[in-house]
Amino acid sequence: MRVTGQIPEATVARLPVYLRSLLEVGAAGISTVSSVMLADRAGVNAAKVRKDLSYLGTYGTRGVGYDVEYLRFQVSRALGVANTWPVVVVGLGNLGRALAGHEGFGERGFPVVAGFDIDPDKIGTRISGVLVHPLERLPELVANLGAAIGIIATPAEAAQEVADHLSRAGIRSVLNFAPTVLALPDDVDVRDVDLATELQILGFHLQRANPTNDDQSVVS
Amino acid sequence: MRVTGQIPEATVARLPVYLRSLLEVGAAGISTVSSVMLADRAGVNAAKVRKDLSYLGTYGTRGVGYDVEYLRFQVSRALGVANTWPVVVVGLGNLGRALAGHEGFGERGFPVVAGFDIDPDKIGTRISGVLVHPLERLPELVANLGAAIGIIATPAEAAQEVADHLSRAGIRSVLNFAPTVLALPDDVDVRDVDLATELQILGFHLQRANPTNDDQSVVS
């Protein structure tokens, strides 16, 4: 398990879930929240929630829980939500189009500032509101727009070349939707999202469909 | 950690990664593979790979590794890849369109057999090759087409209602792309894919960007 500034990676992965829950209960006018409730939403047990939040220096009040507003502030700060990380999307096929137009990105501090493709018919047009440029302009535009994150939404066979382009352009965070394993320098942080993998995990359970009483349906 | 037929959930989540690696090395004409190599691709250590594969009853040969073809057979069998699990997609906006047309799904045994939307302009048309039906026809078509998995690609505010529809229609496996937590019966297996969460995790690391020598860049 990688530990980043004392916060384990598995905890980091749960922080966005906590934040979303806190925004929801806050919107519902609830001012305190228990670790049990947060646990339920994150699919872990309450002890793990308390442990996770302790990394942020937050301990809640026994019998009362956590102050929603204050906890939201702390989780947001830990996640750097106050910051804005401009994103570029490479590959404006169906998936790239969906990602470029994904409402949740801009709202959460990840505005899509440029698109890149090799298709001359797409270059110069706006797709989901995002202007599409030729791949050759990547270094210049990453620098000018201050892009921090590159999303790869190309076919698998193009992904490594695109990843190399992104890396050379100075991008140090890559979200890869192409179903292939990328080789990148150690200082580039890559997260793979393979949509078929998620289906395969569901398929695994379908195949084994057995009437157990195990109700923890979230990967730990 | 949930254990399914003795295979821990975290192991299940890595099996598709192993399978993909095995297909790639097999295509490259390599006939044996070491746990170290598989470990590198899955972002875990070699001991964990050996442990994972031991759940499939596979132990490899010391100093030689695993037979690629045989291991592929075993992982495929564990994942139920020989089976076909028909999928329905609800919500044919940009994301639903991308999912309906995702090449990797059909190839891996998850053909998209029907789409559902409430937009009269979409109903009756084919989107990414998938015929779109009104939501009311869900129970009938799930039964007739033998659909096993429902993908929710609607806006967050519609997701719970759609999830209820899917559940009532007999769907027991849901892949949820809407950024909301769904309440469903215990016998429905839900996997949430929140694309903005992935960006937030990258954002966390960007914020903390510190020159450590830690090169394990994958969540354990």
Query: How confident is the model over B162-217, as pLDDT tens digits?
Result: 999 999 999 999 999 988 888 899 899 998 888 888 888 888 888 877 333 333 33
Q: What is the mean pLDDT of residues B52-81?
A: 85
What domains can be seen in chain B, in order of their start residue?
A: 3-78 (1.10.10.10), 87-197 (3.40.50.720)
Q: Which member of B24, B109, B207 has the closest CB to residue A203?
A: B109
Write down the pLDDT at residue A5: 58
**Predicted local confidence at residue B188, as pLDDT:** 94
Rounded to two decimals, what is the model's pTM?
Answer: 0.71
What was the pLDDT predicted at A216? 34
Q: What is the pLDDT of residue B84?
A: 87
ipTM of predicted assembly, 2 dp: 0.74
Residue-by-residue pLDDT tens, chain A, 220 positions: 444 457 888 888 888 889 888 887 877 788 899 998 888 877 788 999 999 999 988 788 888 889 998 898 888 888 877 688 999 999 999 899 999 988 778 878 899 999 999 999 999 999 988 999 999 999 999 999 999 999 999 998 999 999 999 999 999 999 999 888 888 998 999 988 888 888 888 888 888 773 333 333 333 3
For all residues of chain A together, what is the average pLDDT?
A: 85
The rounded mean pLDDT for chain B is 85
What does the pLDDT average to over B74-93? 87
Inform me whether the C-beta atom of residue B215 falls under 8 Å from chain A C-beta atoms: yes
Taking CA atoms, A167 is separated from A104, A138, A184, B109, in Å, by: 25, 10, 8, 34
Is B219 an 8 Å CB contact of chain A?
yes
d(CA A218, CA A43): 5
Model confidence over A156-172: pLDDT tens digits?
899 999 999 999 999 99
Please, which residues 24-53 of chain B have a Cβ atom closer than 8 Å to chain A?
A: 24, 41
Whether residue B207 and residue A79 make contact (CB cut-off 8 A), yes or no, is yes
Q: Give the model's pLDDT for residue B3.
A: 43
Nearest to A181 among B41, B80, B191 (CB): B41
Tens-place pLDDT, residues A130-143: 999 999 999 999 99
Q: In chain A, what residues touch B216 (CB-CB under 8 Å)?
A: 2
Residues of chain B found within 8 Å of residue A20, distances taken between Cβ atoms: 179, 181, 194
